[in-house]
Structure 1
């Protein structure tokens, strides 16, 4: 949410509170009905202001805090991407590596979707999969059509999948339908949004953003009260503003008397 828009929303809420205050000023203290009117008006107007002006700002508070944390943090965030091996993975990685703010790019595990893997082949594939390519460090069959393959840092994912595909068809008759490479970027916290915008569209998918800033945001989300409670608080704030306007003369007189009492004690 733009800063100007936030300011406008907050100003509009304060204008509603000013309306409640001025209405209460014009309400003479001549009975119980006026007292209830001010309470009711303040509560309703406060709820309306909270729902339409404060709640939208409140919803965007984590994003505003994220922007602030990013501009002040000197630590790195981790952006996790998925890239299909049907595309040119190496070219996509080279493109991402050149984006300003990216400190490093590292390809990680590869999720491989296959034709059916029966129980007989499950343990055999896991124990022998490293022979398919020297860059494969391990493999785990997590379902009857999915294998998670761990590779050495700096490996060529396209080459790994090409050799793995040939090997699997040869030894088991199991074919690879498609595969996805997980790529992790170390990015300057202040450049995360810019990096995400410059990622090659249609070639990569952002699956996760983590790091010190995201931890701070999660902590903030856990400490923030429920939005409905904020709206209810705005309603009660309207009541308080109305009562202050209604009894402003009494309040001012009391403050003057309090000041006189303090001065009198000092003089004594």
Structure 2
């Protein structure tokens, strides 16, 4: 939301509260039984003003907090990527590394979907994976037929997939039709949007993001009230303003008496 629009919304809500205060002040010219009506009207005006003018600003709080974190020097975000093996990884790396704010790009693991495995097949793959490639030291085989293989440092997904694909063709006589490459992209917090756009050009949306910006968004969202509670609170604010208007004269009298008391104390 534009800051000018936000200021206008706040000013409009204040004007509504001034109106509520005025209603409270003219309460003395109404029958006593009208007090409940004044408070109900004040609540409705506060709730409506909150819903129309303050709630849109309230919803922008996570975005505002993330903007603050983006501008803190040295802050970095980690984008977790699930990439199709058909993507030209070298080209993607080159594009990302040339973008301002780039810190690092690392392929962490691959997932190869097969078929639903029985216990015997799971046992077989757990035995054979370590023998296919000496770099396959950490891997997991699930019942739904997914082979998850962690990549060692400086060992590319291309080499890992080629090793498995060659073995698979030799044993099963077929080829792997699809595989997923998991990677971590670390960038400057101020450049996150630029990298998200670069990734979108390749049809990639980060599955998760971690860092000061994302943490601030998560923390703000978790601490925020539901919209209906926020609107109810602004309604209560309207009632409080109306009460201040109703008892404004009493406050004025008390204030004058208090000042007189203080002056007399000083004279003594």
Relative to the length of structure 2, the TM-score reads 0.89
Greater share of strand residues, 1 or 2?
A: 1
Pairwise CA RMSD: 2.3
Which runs of structure 1 show a deviation greater than 4 angstroms over 4 or more consecutive aligned residues?
172-175
In the aligned structure 2, how far is the partner of 1:111 from the partner of 1:101?
Answer: 29
**8 Å Cα contact 1:93-1:105 kept in structure 2:** yes
Structure 1 position 96, deviation (Å): 1.6
Map of 1:38 onto structure 2: 38
Map of 1:253 onto structure 2: 253
> Per the alignment, in what secondary structure is the counterpart of residue 137 of structure 1?
coil
> Per the alignment, in what secondary structure is the counterpart of residue 176 of structure 1?
coil
Structure 1 position 135, deviation (Å): 3.9
Report how many aligned residue pairs link the two structures: 268
Map of 1:2 onto structure 2: 2
In the aligned structure 1, how far is the partner of 2:149 from the partner of 2:238?
Answer: 60
Instruction: For 1:86-101, list aligned pairs within 5 A.
Output: 86-101=86-101
In the aligned structure 1, how far is the partner of 2:97 from the partner of 2:127?
Answer: 34
Instruction: For 1:1-268, list aligned pairs within 5 A.
Output: 1-72=1-72, 74-172=74-172, 175-268=175-268
In structure 1, list runs of 5 or more residues that go unmatched: none
**8 Å Cα contact 2:109-2:182 kept in structure 1:** yes
In the aligned structure 2, how far is the partner of 1:236 from the partner of 1:186?
Answer: 46
In the aligned structure 2, how far is the partner of 1:66 from the partner of 1:201?
Answer: 24
In the aligned structure 1, how far is the partner of 2:189 from the partner of 2:206?
Answer: 16
> Per the alignment, in what secondary structure is the counterpart of residue 86 of structure 1?
coil
In structure 2, list runs of 5 or more residues that go unmatched: none
Structure 1 position 225, deviation (Å): 3.4
Quick one: structure 1 residues 73 and 238, their matched pair in 2 at CA, closer, same or farther if it must change by over 3 Å?
farther
> Per the alignment, in what secondary structure is the counterpart of residue 121 of structure 1?
helix
> Per the alignment, in what secondary structure is the counterpart of residue 199 of structure 1?
helix
In the aligned structure 2, how far is the partner of 1:112 from the partner of 1:263?
Answer: 85
**8 Å Cα contact 2:69-2:212 kept in structure 1:** no
Quick one: structure 1 residues 133 and 204, their matched pair in 2 at CA, closer, same or farther if it must change by over 3 Å?
farther
> Per the alignment, in what secondary structure is the counterpart of residue 137 of structure 2?
strand
> Per the alignment, in what secondary structure is the counterpart of residue 110 of structure 1?
strand
In the aligned structure 1, how far is the partner of 2:75 from the partner of 2:176?
Answer: 39
C-alpha deviations, 1:53-104, integer Å up to 9, x for none? 2222222212211111221253322111121111212211221222211211
